[in-house]
Amino acid sequence: MSEYDQIQKSSLNLKGVGELSAGKKKKKKSKESKHRLEQVVTSQNDDEEVKTKKAYIDKRTPAQIAFDKMQEKRQMERILKKASKTHKHRVEDFNRHLDALTEHYDIPKVSWTK
């Protein structure tokens, strides 16, 4: 029994729980100070937005601008092409495509009687 004499038998002490931490409380800020801070922050954001709008310069090359325009144009063409067909029409086209394929792509039948 001498091996167990050095064991601590008290309860586990956790941080933030107990008598020491219960004495520390956060101070409540007044509503007026919060309101003043919000006004200052919003006024600063407005000033920054005005500066960024005036200072924005397109740094792309003419080739990049043309590339972006063509991409947008092609994307619009794709969208209009997909929107022009109904689901029923797409299914019919897909079935016609499958009928045109050779039998090489068919799944072979397997039977146990061979």
Find all residues with CB under 8 Å of 93, minimum gap 6, and list them: 85
Helix, strand, coil percent values for the chain (each to nearest 5)? 65, 0, 35
pLDDT of residue 18: 62
Find all residues with CB under 8 Å of 21, minimum gap 6, and list them: 15
Task: Round to whole Å and give the CA distance between 98 and 107.
Answer: 13
- Tell me how many helices (H) and strands (E) the chain has: 4, 0
Residue 54 vs residue 43, higher pLDDT = 43
For 80, other C-beta atoms within 10 Å of its C-beta total 9
Q: What are the tens digits of pLDDT across the range 56-100? A: 788 899 999 999 999 999 999 999 988 898 999 989 998 898 888
3-class secondary structure, 20: helix
Supply the pTM of this predicted model: 0.34
